Amino acid sequence: MSRSIEFTTIHTYTPAMEGISLPVVLKSGGEMFKLLASVDKGASNCLFERKHAELLNLKLETGHRMTFRTATGRIDAFGHLRSHFST
């Protein structure tokens, strides 16, 4: 099943810079905040720090426990579907 994503703003980046970063807004209920997110265009998941879940008053540990392996080590995380964060 294919999905499409639509954006209201086009962001440009300098190819000479390390990686791609985009401004994003995370929302849950009445809570929201802005941050600059690093983009991995080949990634299947989005990872955010625990402090972001806490700022949004999310029950982080209710998600599916997942482990990611990176070039610098291992990251334990909790997976949530986008619909879990919608108001």
| Rounded average pLDDT over 7-23 | 77
Q: Which two tokens stand for residue 23?
A: 């401004």
**Residue 3: band (very low, low, confident or very high) from pLDDT cuts 50, 70, 90:** low
Residue 2 in domain = no
If you average pLDDT over every residue of the chain, what do you get? 81
Total domain count, the chain? 1
> How many whole angstroms separate alpha carbon 84 and alpha carbon 87?
8
Q: Is residue 9 part of a domain?
A: no
| Domain ranges, residue 33 | 20-85
44 domain residue, yes or no? yes
Write the pLDDT tens digit of every residue in 50-74: 998 888 888 889 989 999 998 899 9
What totals of helices (H) and strands (E) does the chain contain, helices first? 1, 4
77 within domain boundaries? yes
How much is the pTM?
0.61
